[in-house]
Structures are given as C-alpha cells and as structure tokens.
Amino acid sequence: MREINIPISNDTIRSLKVGDPVHLNGLMVTGRDAAHKWLMETFIKQNKPPQGNDLEVYAELKKLLNGAVIYHCGPVVSGLDTKAYKFVAAGPTTSIREEPYQAAVMKHFNLKGVIGKGGMGANTLKGCQETPGVYFHAIGGAASFIAQSVTRVLGVYKMEFGVPEAMWVIEVKQFPVVVTMDAHGGSLHADIEASSKAVLEDLLAKN
C-alpha cells in the first residue's frame, strides 16, 4: 500500500499506474453534481454571474484544489446545529454523472485526483493525461468504514446546495483507494467494458 500526501506532485501522479493501491493523507474537498455544475457554469464557462460570496469561495477553492483531490461523495454529517461537524458516513457517489464537467474542472483547478466509484469516460481519461491526474476508485458500500479515515471536517462551502451536495473540506488519514484510471491513458473501467462486450458478443454468436 503506497502512502501519498496531498497536495500531490506531477511526478507522483505520473508514477501511479492502474491497479496501484493507495492511502491518501491530507486535505480534500467533496463535490457532486451541484458543485461541478456550479463550478463549470459560473467560473469555467462563465455562463452565469457569481452570486453572494461566490467569488470569495472560488478564491478559497483555487487554493484548496490546487494539486489536490476532489471526492464524489454525499456524506452523512452530524453536528449540523452546533457546527461541530463529523462525518458519520462518507461513501463514494457514482462518478459518471460528472463526466460532462470533470476534465474541465481538473484543468481549471489543477486537480491531481478524482475519487468516486464506477469509473469515468473518455473525456475524463483525456483530462487525466493532460492535467495530469488520476481517478481513484473508493470502496462502494463501505460508507461508515471510509468515514473513519476522515480525521477532521475543516469547513463547508455552498451549504445552500444541501448537505450531500455541499463542498466539504476534510482532512483524511490513510484514506483507502485504488488507481483505476491513470495519467498514461490506462483505464481499468474501459478494459472491463471491452472484455465484457467481447464475452457478450461471443455468447450471442453461439445462440
């Protein structure tokens, strides 16, 4: 198991290959559909003007995400009334929903890693090669176990999106993931899809 600290250098990213098990340590930010859409429309494409304190949040995110990791996660969080936040459950969200946004978000914020489940498509894979970055697969169905890797909740942005869709800033220690898309064009998800298609076509041909 390889230990990697966030922020992550380009050299470290390029040293990772599909199949590598990794423990991540440091700060990361959660972000799902609402967050990615907001980042894309407001700051990357600039189709919508910033609202409220959006510019201040953007400035903070530019620092937090530089060389860092975004986690596709809709956490269950305790302490909402007192703001003594603690992650009770922190399982990964299916990542393919962010495919329209991910490569652009990676490039704009210099993201080195994306965490989720189920993998992503060709556009994100190209983004991993160009940024460079990797896709880390987290364990589905292990939300409580993963939450134990979250040592502190440092803050939250865009709470108006709701708790699952807000952007939580968390500190993690030995957060368990596996590289399934790398900066060299390798994608375990694409390989499995291709082999499954071949098996299916073979079965259909025999019937």
Interacting residues of 191 by C-beta distance below 8 A, sequence separation 6+:
none
What gap in Å lies between CA 25 and CA 22, rounded to an integer?
10
Catalytic residue flag (residue 36): yes
Of 23, 36, 72, 137, which one is the catalytic site residue? Answer: 36
Residue 137: closest CA among 180, 98, 101: 180
Catalytic site residues?
36
